[in-house]
Amino acid sequence: MVGGRDYGASQFNRAVDAYRQPGSSFKPYVYTAALLNGFRPNSIVVDGPVCIGNWCPQNYGHSYSGPVTLTQAITHSINVIPVKLSIALGKGNPKIGRAKIIEVARRFGIKAPLPDTPSLPIGADEVTVLEHAVAYATFPNRGKAVTPHAVLEVRTGTGDLVWRYDRDGPKPTQAIPPSIAADMAGMMSHVVSEGTARRAALDGIPTAGKTGTTNAYRDAWFVGYTGNFVCAVWFGNDDYSPTNRMTGGSLPAQTWHDIMVAAHEGVEIKELVGVGMGTKLPTPASATTVAANGAPKVLDIKPGPPPVLTKRGADVLVRVEKLLDEAGKTAGKTSSNEPPNPARPATSSSLALPESFAAAAPDGAAAPLPRKN
């Protein structure tokens, strides 16, 4: 767990205590609710204009794709489809549909307030990094929700076992059927292989996840998982000022990738149900040339003992730390066409219903740009 850039400068643990908008990384809960109510990954929904009252969400670029499958919609992070699903789930009543989405999020372990707003399906409500990661663990865990914990066992001073989590701790609960979890993993694997999170792809390791980017680039997320581990990465500023146009598919996905490479060293790779065992990434042309010239090949990682922090792993973590430092410097800057926002208190109340998810209002008032994921 990493709660910030520098513990010496700030002891505030952003992974546990900061409530931030998840943006499109919230959409998997919407799609799960849809699958639980009769939709399939290949179900067709029309990507076109939709309004709830005077709120009309739009996609990035203000364009539409027409009929798309649910898999295509989550892969390319289309905003309109989750909103239309919330209407369909309520049989025309979006409030009822949103209630079903919130129920799914609760089953997964989301404990944040989640106030009912029309923009909830595209990530307007706030969550913490920890509970978002815990909720995503339901997918690779065959639909079973887990309880976050840091203590594995307790022993006496003489070494006698007093308590052990796997024996005495709370048992996982079946939040969704295993088949739905597998379908969701299959859909979310496309986000990594061909969608907004291609930088997160791991060589030979099955991977799935979802990016998220909020209004004015204030929050950038990537939450993903393999058959072995789940990891959530968030970047943003404590005062809610914009980053320098950072999206979830950029530095968050790259950071997630680097952390997971280290985490999987020496670990037997597990199958990700709904995805399989993964595939090798395409070999760069330069690497192909070197191999043809007879250079020694890098040996594949073999199954081994439980993970330990190897020298290579330490090097990767140092690299991640440098990326975090660079992101912090970048995040302090705003884009040239945006005036810097005044500093705001590091609280979540001001973002309960952001202006970010509205298109131009009927009276012609200017609306902010839709977010890109």
Q: What is the per-residue pLDDT across 26-55, written as a single tens digit (0 to 9) for each?
A: 999 999 999 999 999 999 999 999 999 999
Q: What is the per-residue pLDDT across 105-162, written as a single tens digit (0 to 9) for each?
A: 999 999 999 999 999 999 999 999 999 999 999 999 999 999 999 999 999 999 999 9
According to the model, what pLDDT value does residue 335 have?
44
Distances, alpha carbon 228 to alpha carbons 192, 268, 269, 345, in Å: 17, 9, 7, 38
Residue scoring higher pLDDT (291 or 270): 270
Q: What is the per-residue pLDDT across 178-214, written as a single tens digit (0 to 9) for each?
A: 999 999 999 999 999 999 999 999 999 999 999 999 9
Tokens of 79: 């905003």
Question: Domains plus CATH for the chain?
Answer: 14-290+303-340 (3.40.710.10)
pLDDT band, very low/low/confident/very high, at 319 (cuts 50, 70, 90):
confident
CA–CA distance, 141 with 110 (Å, rounded to integer): 16
According to the model, what pLDDT value does residue 127 have?
98
Q: What is the pTM of this model?
A: 0.77
What is the Cα Rg of the chain in Å?
Answer: 21
According to the model, what pLDDT value does residue 103 have?
98
Asked if pLDDT for residue 350 goes beyond 50, the answer is no
Q: Going by C-beta distance under 8 Å and a sequence separation of 6 or more, which residues neighbour residue 228? A: 263, 264, 267, 269, 270
According to the model, what pLDDT value does residue 311 have?
63
Q: Calculate mean pLDDT across residues 253-267.
A: 97
pLDDT band, very low/low/confident/very high, at 221 (cuts 50, 70, 90):
very high
Torsion angles phi and psi, residue 288, rounded to 5: -65, -40
Tokens of 202: 């791991």
Burial of 183: CB neighbours in 10 Å, binned 0-12, 13-18, 19+: buried
Instruction: Name which of 81-95, 173-187, 273-287 the model is least confident about.
Output: 273-287
66 conformational bin, left if phi > 0, alpha if psi -120 to 50, beta if neither: left
